[in-house]
Amino acid sequence: MPDEEMDFMPIIPLNETEGENLDDTNIPEELPILPLRNTVLFPGVVIPITVGRDKSIKAVNESYKTDKMVGVLAQKDSSVEDPQITDLVEVGTVAKIIKLIKMPDGGTTVIIQGRKRFRMKKIITDEPYFRANIELLGEDNIVNDEHFDATVSSLKDLAAQIIHLSPNIPSEAAIILRNIENASFLIHFISSNLNSEVKEKQSLLEIDDLKKRSEKLMHLLQRELQFAELKNKVTTKTKTELDKQQREYFLQQQLKSIKEELGGDSNDRELQDMIKKGEAKKWPKAAKDLFQKEIEKLERMHPSTPDYSIVYNHVDLMLDLPWDEITKDNYDLKRSKKILDADHYGMNKIKERILEYLAVLKLKGDMKSPILCFVGPPGIGKTSLGKSIANAIGRKYVRLSLGGLHDESEIRGHRKTYIGAMAGRVIQSIRKVKSSNPVMILDEVDKVGKDFRGDPSSALLEVLDPEQNHSFYDNYLELEYDLSKVLFIATANDINTIQPALRDRMEIIELNGYAMKEKVEIAKRHLIPKQKEAHGLKDVNLNLNDKVIEEVIENYTRESGVRELDRQIASIMRSMAKDYAINGKVKSGLRVSDVHRILGKPRYSNEIYKNSPLPGIAVGLAWTYVGGDILFIESILSEGKGDLKLTGNLGNVMKESASTALTYLNANAKKLNIDQELFKKKDIHIHVPEGAVPKDGPSAGVTMLTALASAFTGRKVKPYLGMTGEITLRGLVLPVGGIKEKVLAAKRAGLKELILCWQNEKDVQEINSDFIKGMKFHYVKNMQQVLDLALS
């Protein structure tokens, strides 16, 4: 039979040592070079390759006609179609062409056997194909090495395990492996069939030391075995799960058939009850159609299927929602006013706004509910006022706490496809109160969070927009719901942290802190009766007169609201309850000395404002989200170069106010009788106590200038004097905000005189004159007036 017509060629050579024992003299020093794209040839291994490139076909044909020897080199990058000599690796294998087969499509398949490793020394020509000078690389003959023998044995075992775990490799491969005796050929055969990248195979071929090559191969085999085990585990697990699901499906179908024979079950009765409820429900057409569709879906599903509970819960929510169910408003304005006055002392502006809303409803019969936002310090009754409003107009009340909310889905709901999905908090609240027109309190709207899960503030835009909320879409409900009849009341401590677009949709009503007289009345009307009842003293004759309450307010609290006052009254009541439990009686009227005995020594004192022991200290007024507060500004001069140092955790605006004040004094030193040289020879240090508390804003400008002027002139600031206002480089005093809070804080602290901008006079006039009795106000236009009034 002619050589070209052989139709069978073994991949394993019949003589394993054939490739190894070839005499080096039979291999010429100059060989045609055959680039291989996706594989690496190892000595002794037989592989078939398809030759398609013109250069490669010429090289193979030319070699086949002569000594049938070619130098095989792997390409560095298999994507290169026409490789140059720089695209080939340097170390390859001398191969003998065993068989050349012409294919019907014009291509050529060549069966080659690796002989010896070689290194390419120099390229001779690249036309019509690559020819190069080569240097043969030898192999060490390892004899009687137990470590090497053990490695070879381990390689056989690892390869056998991979064959066993890989369904694509025929089991005969394991038999072939077991029958290979030559260690070198075994290493080369396994390396050739390794499921690794060409780079890793090439690195194996380039290792001269056979022992090191076997150790590297061991590492690669172990990695491949781990991958094969993991792949087999995943495949087995998936198959098991599919088998389990099929088994459950057949069992469920059988169970369904048995139940049908027995005449139905409890799930059918539940569905019938749902259908009856749905027929009695007054709801929009879209809701009715969706309900019908979901019921039909439930009838087709088996109760034990995973989707059944999802659809069931959705239908249950639709039935529970009060689609057109509203409570009737009480339009008796006198009664409403009486309830509001009984529940809360003061707050006239809010009460007037609610009565206006009721009046329009009474006259018109229908009106879009306003979106109100109560802004004020903690503890003044913003949240409880919402409940009082609900009682006054005869509506149901529900509270939605937004503090720390950071997921948009909490407002709009989760999509039903998620595990544990539920409707948004708005829809849940409506479902809870069973009314479409409740008073809904959105508590702490200024403390809504924002992160990668979404921005709840943006979701609230739809809820709080009267033009949009008649068709609020909840992702879980998958229907539009009318929220236009809901009276939304938001509460906040700091309006600046509310998103501007959200703030624009709300009617802001500012609530100021309570004055002394208001706190006394609140204590007498609400706090004392509440704490007496809470401590079992409801029927005991126990009274706190105005003087005692004022003592508690003045010396034991510093707040805009009444929470701390409530806690102090609770402490007094606990002490009284203990006395009553031990002695069976208590004093009917408490004295100031009793307050000191129960609550301890006074925590706060107004004496610190009486005298400024040193020049350079002034008292300012500040506004924080917890209300007004008193702020000391301290300044001192020391030897230096005229540097300004600011401490006390100050913000950028406050630092700029200090720089402005210093520049103004420097520019007007002569007019103010200040030695100009002081600004060059003295360092100025301004400190604002309570350094742990961040401070910012322009309102401390006049206070800083007064403190600096006092330090430079050596004149003390008048006692019991406070001030607030922004300053300019020209020495003008500008108005600031939060005047009522600041004035009430000054009154609480015992200050007797205040310096304010003349434009803030209107704000002072809005304060009840009884609350600021005994205080003197100075309204100024420029800093010269401030210094004339402040410095003694």
What integer is the mean pLDDT of 365-386?
80
pLDDT digits (tens, 9 = 90+) for 21-66: 445 557 888 888 888 888 888 888 888 888 878 788 888 888 888 8
When mean pLDDT is compared across 441-445, 620-624, 659-663, the lowest value belongs to 620-624
How confident is the model at residue 8, as a pLDDT? 31
| Residue 235: CB atoms within 10 Å | 11
475/302: higher pLDDT = 475
Share of the chain above pLDDT 70, in %: 91
What integer is the mean pLDDT of 168-188?
75
pLDDT band for 626, please (50, 70, 90 cuts). low
158/528: higher pLDDT = 528
pLDDT band for 723, please (50, 70, 90 cuts). very high
Using an 8 Å Cβ cutoff, are 446 and 396 in contact? Answer: no
Query: How far apart, in whole angstroms, are the C-alpha atoms of residue 624 and residue 698?
Result: 13
> Is it the case that residue 661 has pLDDT exceeding 70?
yes
Catalytic residue among 484, 560, 612, 699: 699
Beta bridge partners of 50: 109
What integer is the mean pLDDT of 611-639?
80
Helix axes 783-790, 701-713, angle to 10 degrees: 60
> Is it the case that residue 754 has pLDDT exceeding 60?
yes
Using an 8 Å Cβ cutoff, are 528 and 781 in contact? Answer: no
Share of the chain above pLDDT 90, in %: 6
pLDDT digits (tens, 9 = 90+) for 564-619: 889 999 999 998 888 888 888 888 788 888 888 888 888 876 555 555 567 888 88
pLDDT band for 695, please (50, 70, 90 cuts). confident
Return the beta strands (E) in 59-104 as ranges. Answer: 69-74, 91-102
Query: How far apart, in whole angstroms, are the C-alpha atoms of residue 681 and residue 684?
Result: 10
CA dihedral 416, 419, 420, 424 (to 10 degrees): -30
Contacts of 174 (CB under 8 A, 6+ apart): 159, 160, 163, 164
How confident is the model at residue 355, as a pLDDT? 84
**Nearest C-alpha neighbor of 678 from the set 635, 619, 736:** 635
How confident is the model at residue 25, as a pLDDT? 58
- Side-by-side strand order, sheet with 617-624: 644-647, 682-687, 627-639, 617-624, 721-723, 753-757, 776-780
Catalytic residue list contains 593: no
> Is it the case that residue 756 has pLDDT exceeding 90?
yes
pLDDT band for 705, please (50, 70, 90 cuts). very high
Q: Supply angle C-alpha 197, 203, 207, rounded to 5.
A: 150
Query: How far apart, in whole angstroms, are the C-alpha atoms of residue 35 and residue 436?
Result: 80
pLDDT digits (tens, 9 = 90+) for 453-467: 677 888 888 888 878
pLDDT digits (tens, 9 = 90+) for 105-148: 777 888 888 888 888 888 888 788 888 888 888 776 776 777 87
Catalytic residue among 116, 532, 742, 747: 742
How confident is the model at residue 3, as a pLDDT? 36
Dihedral sign, Cα of residue 11, residue 185, residue 179, residue 226: negative
pLDDT digits (tens, 9 = 90+) for 235-289: 777 767 667 777 777 777 777 677 666 655 557 778 888 888 888 888 888 888 8
Catalytic residue list contains 116: no
Beta bridge partners of 628: 623
- Distance of CA 165 to CAs 33, 168, 243, Å? 38, 9, 21
pLDDT band for 724, please (50, 70, 90 cuts). very high
pLDDT band for 7, please (50, 70, 90 cuts). very low
How confident is the model at residue 242, as a pLDDT? 66
What integer is the mean pLDDT of 734-757?
86
pLDDT digits (tens, 9 = 90+) for 287-314: 888 888 888 888 888 777 778 888 888 8
- Distance of CA 530 to CAs 378, 416, 526, 549, 584, Å? 19, 46, 6, 15, 21
pLDDT band for 471, please (50, 70, 90 cuts). confident
Amino acid identity of 591? R
User: What letters, b where the CB count within 10 A reaches 16 and e where it falls short, cover 61-97?
Assistant: bebbeeeebbbbbbbeeeeeeebeeeebbebbbbbbb
Query: How far apart, in whole angstroms, are the C-alpha atoms of residue 530 and residue 518?
Result: 17
253/674: higher pLDDT = 674
CB burial of residue 782 (10 Å; 0-12, 13-18, 19+): middle
